[in-house]
Structure 1
Amino acid sequence: MIKTSWKKSLVVAGVLTALCASAAFAAEQPAQKPSMRERANAILHHDENGASSDRPYHMERGRHWGGPMHPGPQLTDEQVKEREARRAEWEKLPPEQRKKAYEEERAKWREERMKNMTPEEKERFEQREAKREEWRKMTPEQRQKAREEAR
C-alpha cells in the first residue's frame, strides 16, 4: 500500500511540474534566432569602434583580404580614386586588349620579382613556369592521363 501511494505522489508531482513549467515557458515569446548570414553580416559590417558600415563588407576601402588578421592595405581617398579610375579604364577595354594589358602587367611583376631572387630561387621559378607552360599546352585528355600517371 505504501508503494502505491508513493508512486501516485510521484505521478502527481510530475504532472504538476509539467503544468507549471509549460505555463512559465508559454508566457515567453520564442526568440527569433538570427540566420548565419545575419550573424556574419553583423560581425563584418562593423569597424574597430563597433560602428556599423553602410557599405557591404567587400566594398569597404582597403579590406579586400577580408579578415581582422589580414585587413589589407589602408588606402587613402586619393589612392581609392586612382584605383576606381583604373578600373573604369579597364572596363572600357575590349577583351583582347585586356588580355594583352594583363600579360604586360604580369611580365613587369615577374621581372620585379626576379630581381630580388637568389640564383636557386630563379632556377626553381623558371622550372615551375616551364611546367605551367607545358601544362597549358596540353589537351584535357593529356592532362587527365598525366594526373593518372602521377598517382
Structure 2
Amino acid sequence: MVDRPNPFDDIERFFDQMNRTFSDNVPTRPHEMAVDVAETDEEIVVSADLPGFERNEVTISLAGRDLTIDADHEEESETSAGDDETRYVRRERTHRSVSRTVRLPDEVDEEAAHASYTNGVLTVTLPRETVEQEDESHTIDIS
C-alpha cells in the first residue's frame, strides 16, 4: 500500500506557524478582556477593561495567587412594550460573557483587597501578604 501524506498535517503546521508569528503581536483576542498587572513593594494592582458591563455584572474571586474576574451581561430578548412593530433582521447583542484568571506574582492579603469600577475599567488593589494563607476562594466586593 502506498503511504499518502495526510493533508491535515500540512494545515496543522500552517496554523502552528501562524500562531507563533502573531502571538507576540496580538495581546488578547477580541472576546477577551485586556488586563494589566502592576506591582509595588506594598501591593499588586490589577486593571481590567470591561466596557459595556455594569458593576453588578462583574464578579471577582481570589484563590491563593489566582485572581479570577468574571463578567456576564444579558440584554432583554423582547422588544420594548410600546415598540411591537420592531423586528430584528440581525441581533448580535443579546448575551456577552468574559472571564479571565490571572496568576499573581506573590501572595496577597485577601481580606484587605478592594476593587473599584469606573468608566468600564475595573481596578483591583491587593496588598502583599508575607504569611501563607489557607487555599480558600474569597469574593471581593466592588465599590
Q: Which has the higher contact order (CA 8 A, sep 6+)?
A: 2
Greater helix content: 1
Greater strand content: 2
Which protein shows a greater Rg? 1
TM-score normalised by length of structure 1: 0.23
TM-score normalised by length of structure 2: 0.24
